[in-house]
Structure 1
Amino acid sequence: MKRNLFFHLKAYFGFSRRESKGFILVIPALVILYSIPSLYDWSLQKHSIHLYEHYENKLDSLLQNGWEISEYVGVQSLIQQDSSNKKRNLPASRTAVLNKLDFNEADSIVLQIVPGIGQTMAGRIVKFRDNMGGLHDREQLLDVYGMNPELMERVFEYFTFRPGIQEKININHMEVSDLARHPYISYGAAKVIVAYREQHGPYKSPEDLLEIKIFNENWLERLRPYLVF
Protein backbone atom coordinates (compact mmCIF):
# COMPACT_ATOMS: atom_id res chain seq x y z
CA MET A 1 0.00 0.00 0.00
CA LYS A 2 2.85 2.33 0.83
CA ARG A 3 4.46 1.63 -2.55
CA ASN A 4 1.16 2.36 -4.29
CA LEU A 5 0.91 5.67 -2.45
CA PHE A 6 4.44 6.63 -3.50
CA PHE A 7 3.61 5.60 -7.06
CA HIS A 8 0.46 7.75 -7.21
CA LEU A 9 2.23 10.75 -5.69
CA LYS A 10 4.95 10.44 -8.29
CA ALA A 11 2.51 9.84 -11.16
CA TYR A 12 0.07 12.65 -10.37
CA PHE A 13 2.29 15.24 -8.67
CA GLY A 14 5.77 14.36 -9.89
CA PHE A 15 7.03 13.84 -6.33
CA SER A 16 10.30 12.03 -5.77
CA ARG A 17 10.38 9.30 -3.13
CA ARG A 18 11.95 11.73 -0.65
CA GLU A 19 9.33 14.39 -1.38
CA SER A 20 6.57 11.81 -1.01
CA LYS A 21 7.86 10.83 2.43
CA GLY A 22 7.93 14.47 3.48
CA PHE A 23 4.41 15.00 2.20
CA ILE A 24 3.11 11.99 4.17
CA LEU A 25 4.73 13.31 7.35
CA VAL A 26 3.15 16.73 6.87
CA ILE A 27 -0.41 15.38 6.51
CA PRO A 28 -0.99 14.74 10.28
CA ALA A 29 0.21 18.27 11.10
CA LEU A 30 -2.20 19.72 8.54
CA VAL A 31 -5.06 17.70 10.01
CA ILE A 32 -4.25 19.00 13.51
CA LEU A 33 -4.04 22.60 12.31
CA TYR A 34 -7.33 22.21 10.47
CA SER A 35 -8.97 20.88 13.66
CA ILE A 36 -7.79 23.68 15.98
CA PRO A 37 -10.58 26.20 15.10
CA SER A 38 -13.25 23.55 15.68
CA LEU A 39 -11.71 22.55 19.00
CA TYR A 40 -11.48 26.21 20.04
CA ASP A 41 -15.13 26.83 19.19
CA TRP A 42 -16.11 23.73 21.17
CA SER A 43 -14.12 24.98 24.16
CA LEU A 44 -15.78 28.43 24.04
CA GLN A 45 -19.21 26.86 23.80
CA LYS A 46 -18.49 24.64 26.79
CA HIS A 47 -17.25 27.64 28.79
CA SER A 48 -20.37 29.66 27.90
CA ILE A 49 -22.61 26.81 29.04
CA HIS A 50 -20.68 26.64 32.32
CA LEU A 51 -21.14 30.40 32.91
CA TYR A 52 -24.85 30.22 32.13
CA GLU A 53 -25.34 27.35 34.57
CA HIS A 54 -23.39 29.28 37.22
CA TYR A 55 -25.60 32.36 36.84
CA GLU A 56 -28.75 30.23 36.80
CA ASN A 57 -27.73 28.52 40.06
CA LYS A 58 -27.10 31.89 41.73
CA LEU A 59 -30.48 33.20 40.64
CA ASP A 60 -32.27 30.06 41.83
CA SER A 61 -30.51 30.38 45.18
CA LEU A 62 -31.67 33.98 45.57
CA LEU A 63 -35.22 33.10 44.62
CA GLN A 64 -35.33 30.22 47.08
CA ASN A 65 -34.24 32.61 49.84
CA GLY A 66 -37.26 34.79 49.24
CA TRP A 67 -36.05 37.44 46.81
CA GLU A 68 -37.99 38.72 43.84
CA ILE A 69 -35.60 39.55 41.02
CA SER A 70 -36.87 42.63 39.23
CA GLU A 71 -33.60 43.44 37.46
CA TYR A 72 -30.51 41.27 37.09
CA VAL A 73 -28.01 42.43 34.54
CA GLY A 74 -29.39 41.60 31.16
CA VAL A 75 -30.63 38.10 31.97
CA GLN A 76 -33.98 39.05 33.49
CA SER A 77 -35.80 38.05 30.32
CA LEU A 78 -34.56 34.48 30.83
CA ILE A 79 -35.95 34.21 34.36
CA GLN A 80 -38.94 36.56 34.34
CA GLN A 81 -41.55 33.82 34.10
CA ASP A 82 -39.81 31.57 36.62
CA SER A 83 -39.46 34.51 39.03
CA SER A 84 -43.16 35.35 38.76
CA ASN A 85 -44.19 31.76 39.45
CA LYS A 86 -41.98 31.46 42.51
CA LYS A 87 -43.02 34.88 43.81
CA ARG A 88 -46.64 33.72 44.14
CA ASN A 89 -45.52 31.03 46.56
CA LEU A 90 -43.60 33.44 48.84
CA PRO A 91 -45.11 35.07 51.93
CA ALA A 92 -45.66 38.80 51.40
CA SER A 93 -43.50 39.67 54.42
CA ARG A 94 -40.45 38.03 52.83
CA THR A 95 -40.82 39.51 49.37
CA ALA A 96 -38.13 42.09 48.54
CA VAL A 97 -36.72 43.64 45.42
CA LEU A 98 -33.10 42.92 44.57
CA ASN A 99 -31.87 45.48 42.08
CA LYS A 100 -28.13 45.15 42.42
CA LEU A 101 -25.44 42.90 43.83
CA ASP A 102 -22.64 43.96 46.17
CA PHE A 103 -19.54 44.94 44.21
CA ASN A 104 -17.24 44.03 47.11
CA GLU A 105 -18.48 40.43 47.07
CA ALA A 106 -18.55 39.88 43.31
CA ASP A 107 -16.06 37.38 41.92
CA SER A 108 -14.61 37.42 38.40
CA ILE A 109 -17.37 35.15 37.06
CA VAL A 110 -20.24 37.30 38.36
CA LEU A 111 -18.61 40.50 37.05
CA GLN A 112 -18.82 39.10 33.52
CA ILE A 113 -22.57 39.65 33.50
CA VAL A 114 -21.83 43.34 32.89
CA PRO A 115 -21.86 44.03 29.13
CA GLY A 116 -18.35 44.85 27.95
CA ILE A 117 -16.56 42.97 30.74
CA GLY A 118 -14.97 39.71 29.70
CA GLN A 119 -12.89 37.20 31.59
CA THR A 120 -9.66 39.20 31.39
CA MET A 121 -11.15 42.51 32.55
CA ALA A 122 -13.12 40.82 35.33
CA GLY A 123 -9.90 39.20 36.57
CA ARG A 124 -8.13 42.58 36.55
CA ILE A 125 -10.93 44.21 38.54
CA VAL A 126 -10.95 41.53 41.23
CA LYS A 127 -7.15 41.52 41.52
CA PHE A 128 -7.06 45.32 41.76
CA ARG A 129 -9.83 45.46 44.38
CA ASP A 130 -8.30 42.73 46.52
CA ASN A 131 -4.72 44.03 46.30
CA MET A 132 -5.94 47.51 47.20
CA GLY A 133 -7.49 46.16 50.37
CA GLY A 134 -10.80 47.79 49.48
CA LEU A 135 -11.93 50.91 47.63
CA HIS A 136 -12.91 54.18 49.33
CA ASP A 137 -14.07 55.82 46.08
CA ARG A 138 -15.74 54.10 43.16
CA GLU A 139 -13.70 56.16 40.66
CA GLN A 140 -10.62 54.25 41.79
CA LEU A 141 -11.88 51.61 39.40
CA LEU A 142 -10.56 53.84 36.58
CA ASP A 143 -7.05 52.84 37.69
CA VAL A 144 -7.68 49.33 36.37
CA TYR A 145 -5.92 48.85 33.04
CA GLY A 146 -8.42 49.06 30.19
CA MET A 147 -11.20 50.64 32.28
CA ASN A 148 -12.93 53.79 31.03
CA PRO A 149 -15.66 56.05 32.51
CA GLU A 150 -18.44 54.53 30.40
CA LEU A 151 -17.58 50.98 31.44
CA MET A 152 -17.21 52.02 35.08
CA GLU A 153 -20.71 53.55 35.05
CA ARG A 154 -22.05 50.35 33.53
CA VAL A 155 -20.50 48.31 36.36
CA PHE A 156 -22.30 50.37 38.99
CA GLU A 157 -25.58 50.13 37.15
CA TYR A 158 -25.53 46.48 38.21
CA PHE A 159 -23.53 46.53 41.45
CA THR A 160 -23.84 48.62 44.60
CA PHE A 161 -20.70 50.31 45.87
CA ARG A 162 -19.92 50.35 49.59
CA PRO A 163 -16.77 52.37 50.36
CA GLY A 164 -14.46 50.75 52.83
CA ILE A 165 -10.81 49.79 53.33
CA GLN A 166 -10.37 46.40 54.96
CA GLU A 167 -6.58 46.16 54.76
CA LYS A 168 -4.06 48.99 55.21
CA ILE A 169 -0.33 49.39 54.63
CA ASN A 170 1.88 49.34 57.71
CA ILE A 171 4.61 51.38 56.11
CA ASN A 172 7.10 50.84 58.95
CA HIS A 173 6.90 47.04 59.03
CA MET A 174 6.10 45.76 55.55
CA GLU A 175 8.93 44.56 53.33
CA VAL A 176 9.49 45.29 49.64
CA SER A 177 7.48 42.37 48.25
CA ASP A 178 4.50 43.16 50.50
CA LEU A 179 4.49 46.87 49.68
CA ALA A 180 4.80 46.17 45.95
CA ARG A 181 1.56 44.17 45.93
CA HIS A 182 -0.39 47.38 46.38
CA PRO A 183 -1.44 48.82 43.00
CA TYR A 184 -0.30 52.32 43.96
CA ILE A 185 3.23 51.22 44.88
CA SER A 186 5.54 49.95 42.17
CA TYR A 187 8.35 47.53 42.97
CA GLY A 188 10.91 50.31 42.49
CA ALA A 189 8.98 52.63 44.81
CA ALA A 190 8.75 49.87 47.43
CA LYS A 191 12.54 49.41 47.38
CA VAL A 192 13.08 53.15 47.87
CA ILE A 193 10.54 53.30 50.73
CA VAL A 194 12.25 50.46 52.60
CA ALA A 195 15.77 51.78 51.93
CA TYR A 196 14.84 55.27 53.21
CA ARG A 197 13.20 53.74 56.30
CA GLU A 198 16.29 51.69 57.09
CA GLN A 199 18.54 54.72 56.70
CA HIS A 200 16.44 57.38 58.47
CA GLY A 201 14.25 55.38 60.84
CA PRO A 202 10.47 54.84 60.95
CA TYR A 203 8.09 57.14 59.13
CA LYS A 204 5.98 59.27 61.49
CA SER A 205 3.45 60.73 59.06
CA PRO A 206 2.44 60.50 55.40
CA GLU A 207 4.33 63.73 54.69
CA ASP A 208 7.60 62.00 55.58
CA LEU A 209 7.31 60.12 52.27
CA LEU A 210 7.64 63.44 50.42
CA GLU A 211 11.22 63.65 51.70
CA ILE A 212 11.87 61.05 49.02
CA LYS A 213 12.15 63.20 45.91
CA ILE A 214 10.66 60.67 43.50
CA PHE A 215 7.26 61.00 45.20
CA ASN A 216 4.82 63.88 44.84
CA GLU A 217 1.63 65.22 46.44
CA ASN A 218 -0.71 63.57 43.93
CA TRP A 219 0.79 60.14 44.56
CA LEU A 220 0.66 60.65 48.33
CA GLU A 221 -2.99 61.74 48.28
CA ARG A 222 -3.96 58.56 46.44
CA LEU A 223 -2.03 56.42 48.92
CA ARG A 224 -2.83 58.34 52.13
CA PRO A 225 -6.10 56.51 53.04
CA TYR A 226 -4.24 53.20 53.06
CA LEU A 227 -1.34 54.18 55.31
CA VAL A 228 -0.89 53.36 59.00
CA PHE A 229 2.15 54.21 61.12
Structure 2
Amino acid sequence: MRGIGPSFARGIVRYRELLGGYHDLDQLAEVYVLRDKPDAIARIRELLFVDTLHVKRIPLNTCTVEELAAHVYVNWDLARTIVAYRDQHGPFRQREDLLGCHRVDSTLFRKLAPYLQVP
Protein backbone atom coordinates (compact mmCIF):
# COMPACT_ATOMS: atom_id res chain seq x y z
CA MET A 1 0.00 0.00 0.00
CA ARG A 2 1.50 3.32 -1.03
CA GLY A 3 2.71 5.37 1.94
CA ILE A 4 2.45 2.49 4.38
CA GLY A 5 5.72 0.83 5.24
CA PRO A 6 6.27 -2.69 6.57
CA SER A 7 6.31 -1.53 10.20
CA PHE A 8 2.91 0.17 9.94
CA ALA A 9 1.49 -2.79 8.00
CA ARG A 10 2.71 -5.28 10.60
CA GLY A 11 1.27 -3.18 13.42
CA ILE A 12 -2.11 -2.87 11.70
CA VAL A 13 -2.31 -6.60 11.00
CA ARG A 14 -1.09 -7.57 14.47
CA TYR A 15 -3.71 -5.38 16.16
CA ARG A 16 -6.42 -6.71 13.82
CA GLU A 17 -5.54 -10.22 14.99
CA LEU A 18 -5.65 -9.18 18.66
CA LEU A 19 -9.06 -7.59 18.16
CA GLY A 20 -10.55 -10.39 16.12
CA GLY A 21 -11.00 -7.95 13.24
CA TYR A 22 -11.70 -4.25 12.91
CA HIS A 23 -15.31 -3.12 13.20
CA ASP A 24 -14.58 0.59 12.72
CA LEU A 25 -11.73 2.44 11.01
CA ASP A 26 -11.45 4.66 14.11
CA GLN A 27 -9.75 1.67 15.76
CA LEU A 28 -6.65 2.44 13.69
CA ALA A 29 -5.87 5.15 16.26
CA GLU A 30 -5.42 2.33 18.81
CA VAL A 31 -2.62 0.69 16.80
CA TYR A 32 0.63 1.27 18.68
CA VAL A 33 2.69 2.37 15.66
CA LEU A 34 -0.04 4.84 14.61
CA ARG A 35 -1.05 6.36 17.96
CA ASP A 36 0.62 9.73 17.41
CA LYS A 37 0.37 9.81 13.62
CA PRO A 38 -2.99 11.30 12.60
CA ASP A 39 -1.72 12.06 9.07
CA ALA A 40 -0.81 8.42 8.50
CA ILE A 41 -4.19 7.32 9.84
CA ALA A 42 -5.96 9.73 7.47
CA ARG A 43 -4.03 8.30 4.49
CA ILE A 44 -4.75 4.74 5.51
CA ARG A 45 -8.46 5.41 6.06
CA GLU A 46 -8.78 6.42 2.41
CA LEU A 47 -7.40 3.06 1.28
CA LEU A 48 -9.18 0.64 3.61
CA PHE A 49 -12.68 -0.51 4.38
CA VAL A 50 -14.11 -2.56 7.23
CA ASP A 51 -15.89 -5.85 6.62
CA THR A 52 -17.75 -6.52 9.85
CA LEU A 53 -18.90 -9.94 8.65
CA HIS A 54 -15.43 -11.24 9.47
CA VAL A 55 -15.23 -9.88 13.02
CA LYS A 56 -14.63 -12.74 15.45
CA ARG A 57 -17.42 -12.78 18.01
CA ILE A 58 -17.16 -14.13 21.55
CA PRO A 59 -20.19 -16.19 22.67
CA LEU A 60 -20.95 -14.26 25.85
CA ASN A 61 -23.15 -16.94 27.42
CA THR A 62 -20.70 -19.82 27.00
CA CYS A 63 -17.22 -18.29 26.93
CA THR A 64 -14.68 -19.03 29.62
CA VAL A 65 -12.71 -16.44 31.55
CA GLU A 66 -9.68 -17.35 29.43
CA GLU A 67 -11.54 -16.87 26.15
CA LEU A 68 -12.91 -13.51 27.23
CA ALA A 69 -9.58 -12.30 28.63
CA ALA A 70 -7.89 -13.13 25.32
CA HIS A 71 -9.60 -10.09 23.76
CA VAL A 72 -7.52 -6.92 23.78
CA TYR A 73 -10.30 -4.87 25.43
CA VAL A 74 -10.75 -7.30 28.35
CA ASN A 75 -8.20 -7.95 31.09
CA TRP A 76 -8.23 -10.99 33.36
CA ASP A 77 -10.05 -9.26 36.24
CA LEU A 78 -12.77 -7.91 33.98
CA ALA A 79 -13.25 -11.32 32.35
CA ARG A 80 -13.65 -12.94 35.78
CA THR A 81 -16.14 -10.25 36.80
CA ILE A 82 -18.22 -10.70 33.63
CA VAL A 83 -18.32 -14.49 33.96
CA ALA A 84 -19.23 -14.19 37.67
CA TYR A 85 -22.00 -11.74 36.76
CA ARG A 86 -23.33 -14.20 34.18
CA ASP A 87 -23.17 -17.05 36.69
CA GLN A 88 -25.04 -14.99 39.28
CA HIS A 89 -27.69 -13.41 37.02
CA GLY A 90 -28.12 -16.08 34.37
CA PRO A 91 -27.54 -15.94 30.63
CA PHE A 92 -27.40 -12.63 28.81
CA ARG A 93 -30.49 -12.05 26.66
CA GLN A 94 -28.93 -9.15 24.79
CA ARG A 95 -25.51 -7.51 24.71
CA GLU A 96 -26.83 -4.48 26.61
CA ASP A 97 -27.38 -6.70 29.66
CA LEU A 98 -23.62 -6.48 30.12
CA LEU A 99 -24.07 -2.87 31.25
CA GLY A 100 -25.50 -4.28 34.49
CA CYS A 101 -22.01 -5.48 35.36
CA HIS A 102 -20.43 -2.77 37.54
CA ARG A 103 -17.07 -2.92 35.73
CA VAL A 104 -18.55 -2.26 32.27
CA ASP A 105 -19.23 1.40 31.53
CA SER A 106 -20.78 2.77 28.34
CA THR A 107 -17.39 3.57 26.78
CA LEU A 108 -16.08 0.04 27.21
CA PHE A 109 -19.42 -1.40 26.12
CA ARG A 110 -19.37 0.56 22.83
CA LYS A 111 -15.89 -0.76 22.07
CA LEU A 112 -16.57 -4.35 23.11
CA ALA A 113 -20.16 -4.91 21.93
CA PRO A 114 -19.33 -5.64 18.26
CA TYR A 115 -17.19 -8.56 19.45
CA LEU A 116 -19.89 -10.14 21.62
CA GLN A 117 -22.41 -12.70 20.48
CA VAL A 118 -25.62 -13.19 22.41
CA PRO A 119 -28.35 -15.41 20.95
What TM-score results when the alignment is normalised by the length of structure 2?
0.79
The correspondence of residues 141-152 of structure 1 with structure 2, limited to 5 A, is 141-148=28-35, 149-152=38-41
Alpha carbons of structure 1 residues 124 and 219: separation in structure 2 relative to 1, 3 Å: same
SS at match of 2:51: coil
Offset, 1:217 = 1.0
C-alpha contact (below 8 Å) 1:165/1:226 kept by paired residues:
no
Which has the larger Rg? Answer: 1
**Structure 2 gap segments, 5+ residues each:** none
C-alpha contact (below 8 Å) 1:129/1:135 kept by paired residues:
yes
SS at match of 2:88: helix
**Structure 1 gap segments, 5+ residues each:** 1-71, 75-113
Q: Which amino acid aligns with 1:140?
A: Q
The correspondence of residues 1-229 of structure 1 with structure 2, limited to 5 A, is 73=2, 114-115=4-5, 118=7, 121-148=8-35, 149-157=38-46, 159-166=47-54, 167-229=56-118
Q: Which amino acid aligns with 2:95?
A: P
Number of residue pairs matched by the alignment: 115
C-alpha contact (below 8 Å) 1:169/1:179 kept by paired residues:
yes
Question: Quick one: distance in 1 between partners of 2:52 and 2:79?
Answer: 24
Question: Which one has more relative contact order, counting CA pairs under 8 Å at least 6 apart?
Answer: 2
Q: Which amino acid aligns with 1:138?
A: L
Offset, 1:138 = 0.8
Question: Quick one: distance in 2 between partners of 1:134 and 1:165?
Answer: 9
RMSD over aligned CA atoms reads 2.2
Task: Summarize deviations over 1:16-69 as a string: whole Å, max 9, x none.
Answer: xxxxxxxxxxxxxxxxxxxxxxxxxxxxxxxxxxxxxxxxxxxxxxxxxxxxxx
